[in-house]
Amino acid sequence: MQRSCWALLVGLSMIVSAGLEPAAGEAPSLPAALQGLPISPAPSPLSSFYVSPTRIVWQSEHGVRNAEHLLQPKPGQALLSESIPPLELTTTPQHAAAVVLDFGTELQGYVELFTPMTPDQQKLRRVRVRLGESVSEVMAELGGAQNAGNDHAVRDQTVTLPWLGKKSVGPSGFRFVRIDNVDPELVVQLSQVRAVLQLRDIPYVGQFRCDDERLNRIWQVGAYTVHLNMQEYLWDGIKRDRLVWVGDMHPEVSTINAVFGFNDVVPRSLDLIRDATPPTSWMNGISSYSMWWIIIHEDWWLHHGNREYLQAQGEYLQALLKKLTTHVNEQGEEKLDGTRFLDWPTYENPMAVHEGLQAMTVMALQSGARLMDILGDTTLAAECRESARQCTRHAAQASGRKSPAALSVLAGLRDAREVAQQRLIPRGAQDLSTFYGFYVLQALAQADETDAALDMIKTYWGGMLDYGATTFWEDFNLEWTENASRIDELVPPGKRDIHGDCGAHCYVGFRHSLCHGWASGPTAWLSQHVLGVRPLEPGFQRVAVTPALGKLRWAEGNYPTPRGPIQVRHERQADGTIRSHIQAPAGITIERL
């Protein structure tokens, strides 16, 4: 059964905000006052949902009355008279009055503050509103050692409240909200505080369930993490990094394919960066990101089979692939310029970066060759294959790091079983990143090490859940959890703040995004490898179903296709064999490999 997005937000109070659209073939009308003005429709793919707070996390010792009344059902409208006394915040020169609300899960959107009628309507009140992905973030001051900021979205601001009205604050990514009365001379009254969640109201066509509830939860959280980032374009983060990063899109697009199927946010975002980046430059200034753009297009073609869309990429693909071949020297060594980046843990390790970029160059050239075959440019396809073959002559020195070792497996440069035993399995979930952890899992699947991959997922991504995560983070290190507190509680004395005290590179402290789409890899991986569904021909005309249960007793779910979802259930029998039940739409040929 398909579930729409709001079905995952169980326990939250939400009301769908629906708008009216003109009937088919009927031109929209404008009021006379607007006719003749340069106005064009601004259709939005986003829907809005109202979310009520679920608990009072904290309130100041002085000056707060009726905070618990904010948790009661409210109409979403300022009223001349209130049946429930409003929240009151009374600040004095000695004591600031403030309250922190929890909305139960990470959200993208706004906070709305409703004010009741007061006798002194000429004296407008001011409040400081702090939105945060953790409790400690909403308690922080801007700047400082913990690096709280307003990058991409202003999440800490002082606003003036209307008399008998509503004030919207945002947008940003947040779960928690702190409200302070900043004026000692005036009492602030709030009759209602609610969040406005904005995202695409689309069904979760793909599904995954198994006998391990921790894995089920991880699949759902990865899906929701990407869903929140499916705004007008496909962002990487909803608080910081509200931008289109092409490399980061690859795990996101893999998750979209496994959960939502086709969604126009993907081609819109791919085309946005293509049009903003001449093929003589690298997308986002990063050489590997232009290579990910090539690889994403092959994945998109296999999943959706839209030849017209692929042909529209032809000219750019040709120029980009020709450029890529010029960055391989006679010895077969990649010589990519621009920013040389794989993931954050390897960022300052040139040996690891070269090892990974060598493999990525092979992957992108091989992918590009197959795309050129489809588009009929056999000459360039042959050039790409020759350049990829040349790359195999250069054996990049092994850095000992998991991310580039995994890419070497996926590029066919190293034996999967050998790399798994020597590099990927030792130390378990250590040396993973939330981004390239996806490719470590892919390499383990290629080595038939399903149990090792499942253990990594449960330890690493499950580790974020253990500390209160409702979406997956920009990065995570298991060492951060030593003597650390959860993100949904005040940090006790003597405990580490896993948000404010951790992070590295550009995501130190509260600049660290706790909702980052590139971290969703396990969702796609569980559908691709445990359910075992992957397209063999464009548009799922022919599909392989190869389950890999590992230690699991059973797994079931749906995988989206252009013809409708494929439904599968795999059960381990008493003799250890797997019995599969597969139901596919007409026009799809199933191969059990």
pLDDT of residue 484: 98
Q: Is the pLDDT of residue 591 over 50?
A: yes
Distance CA 300, CA 262 (A): 9
- Same domain, residue pair 301 and 179: no
pLDDT digits (tens, 9 = 90+) for 559-573: 999 999 999 999 999
User: 554 and 210 in contact (C-beta within 8 Å)?
Assistant: yes
CATH assignment at residue 119 = 2.60.120.260
313 and 402 in a single domain? The answer is yes
* Tens-place pLDDT, residues 29-79: 678 888 888 887 777 899 999 999 999 999 999 999 999 999 999 999 999
Give percent of the chain with pLDDT exceeding 90. 92
Distances from the Cα of 96 to the Cαs of 183, 417, 587, in angstroms? Answer: 9, 61, 66
Domain boundary among 199, 225, 252: 199
580 is a domain residue: yes
* Domain-terminating residue out of 386, 414, 442: 414
Looking at 199, 227, 256, which one is the last position of a domain? 199
- The answer on 317 and 177 residing in a single domain is no
Which pTM was predicted?
0.94
Residue 156 resides in a domain = yes
Higher pLDDT, 360 or 593: 360
User: 160 with 282, same domain?
Assistant: no
**Pair 179, 56 in one domain:** yes
Q: Within this chain, do residues 65 and 157 fall inside the same structural domain, yes or no? A: yes
Question: What does the block give as tokens for 245?
Answer: 């990063």
Q: Residue 186 belongs to what domain range?
A: 49-199
SS3 assignment, position 174: strand
Question: Token pair for residue 30?
Answer: 């404008």
- CATH at 584: 2.60.420.10
The answer to whether position 255 is within a domain reads: no
Does residue 308 share a domain with residue 189?
A: no
Cα–Cα distance, 163 to 155 (Å, whole number): 23
Task: Read off the tokens for 269.
Answer: 């975002």
The answer to the question of residue 146 being in a domain is yes
Task: Let me know if residue 75 belongs to a domain.
Answer: yes
In a domain, 270, yes or no: no
Domain membership flag for residue 215: no
Count of domains observed in the chain: 3
pLDDT (0 to 100) of residue 295: 98
Whether 68 is in a domain gets the answer: yes
**DSSP 3-state of 234:** strand
Does one domain contain both 195 and 61?
Answer: yes
Per residue in 290-311, pLDDT (tens digit) is: 999 999 999 999 999 999 999 9
